[in-house]
Amino acid sequence: MKIKSVVKVMNFHSLLKVDKAKKKAEKYFAYEKGLTDFVDNILNNRNLILDKKILKLDKKQKPLNIYIGNDLGFCGNFNSNVNHEALKDTQSNKIIIGKKILTGKENVLLALTKDDYLQNTKQIEDLIYEKIINSQISEINLIYNHYYNVSKIELVKRKILPIEEEVYKTKSHKEDFVIEGDINDILLNVIVMYLAYEIRVATENSYASENVARQMLTKESLKKIDEIEEEDLMEYRKEKNAKSFKKVIENFIKLKR
C-alpha cells in the first residue's frame, strides 16, 4: 500500500512536470526560429561566401555530438537508445548532459548533470567557441529523445551546425551587408548564441519526454499494483471461503455424530 502511494505521487508529479517542460520548450521556439533564419542568412549568403573569408568548419575534423539524457529514476528504458548511440559512437567528440548516460570516458570532452548544465550553460558555450575558433570540429549534432505528443517520443539525431543550405532551399540569401569589425568574431558569437538556444530547446524537450516516460511507466505500474492487489484479494477470499466451508463441514459432521 505504501509503494502504491509513492507511485501515485510520482505519477502526479510527472503529469505536472510534462506541462511545465512543454511550456519551457515552447518559450524558446520563437527565438530559435528567428535566430536560425538569421544565422542561415549569413552562413549561406552568396555575397558573403564570395566576398568575405567567413568562418568555415573543417570537414576533416571529428564531429561534436551532444547526448542528452535524464537524471531522474523510475524510467530506466528512457536512456537505453541514447546510451546505445553514445556507446557505439567512437568517431566523435562528445558532450554529455544527464548523469545516466553511460559512455565511459572515450572522447568525452564534458559531462554534466541536467542541473549542472542549467546552472552553468557557459561551460558548453566556451567549449564550443574554442572548438570552432580553432577549427577542431566538422559539425555539431544533438542526440536526444524528442517529445512530439503524449503518444509519440522518438530518438532523434539533429545536425545544428553547419546549417545545411538544402534545408532552406526555397530561400535565396543574396542580401549584402555593411560590416564594421571582424566578421568572423561577430559571426562566431552569433553562432554560439544560436547553438546555445538549440541545446537549451533540446534539453527542455528531452525533459518533457522524460516526464512523459515516467508518467506512462508509473501509470502502468499503478495498473500492475491494482492487478496484484485484486489477485491477492481474490486469493484471500478464496482462502476465507475455503475455511468457512471447512468449518461448515466440520460442524455438519459433529451434528451427524
- Provide the residue range defining the domain that includes 26: 19-209
* 228 domain-assigned: no
Cβ-based burial of 75 (10 A; exposed 0-12, middle 13-18, buried ≥19) = buried
Residue 238 lies in a domain: no
Tens digit of each residue's pLDDT (9 = 90 or more) over 72-81: 665 556 788 8
Does some domain include residue 12?
no
Pick from 158, 217, 256: nearest CA to 14 = 217
CA 49 to centroid of chain Cα atoms: 34
For residue 93, the cross-strand partners are 64
Q: pLDDT at position 110, please?
A: 94
Is position 62 within any domain?
Answer: yes
Closest-CA residue to 41 (of 163, 160, 200, 159)? 163
The reply to whether 201 falls in a domain is yes
Q: Is residue 24 part of a domain?
A: yes
Could you report the per-residue pLDDT of 166-190, keeping only the tens digit for each? Answer: 444 445 565 666 566 676 777 788 8
Strands 152-161 and 140-149: antiparallel
**pTM of the model as a whole:** 0.74
The count of structural domains within the chain is: 1
C-alpha span between 17 and 13 (Å, rounded): 6
- pLDDT grade, residue 52 (50/70/90)? low
- The CATH number for 138's domain is 3.40.1380.10
Could you tell me the end-to-end alpha-carbon distance of the chain, in angstroms, rounded to an integer?
A: 47
Residue 178 belongs to some domain of the structure: yes
Beta carbons of 62 and 135 less than 8 angstroms apart: no
Q: Look at residue 240 and tell me if it is in a domain.
A: no
pLDDT at 223 over 60: yes
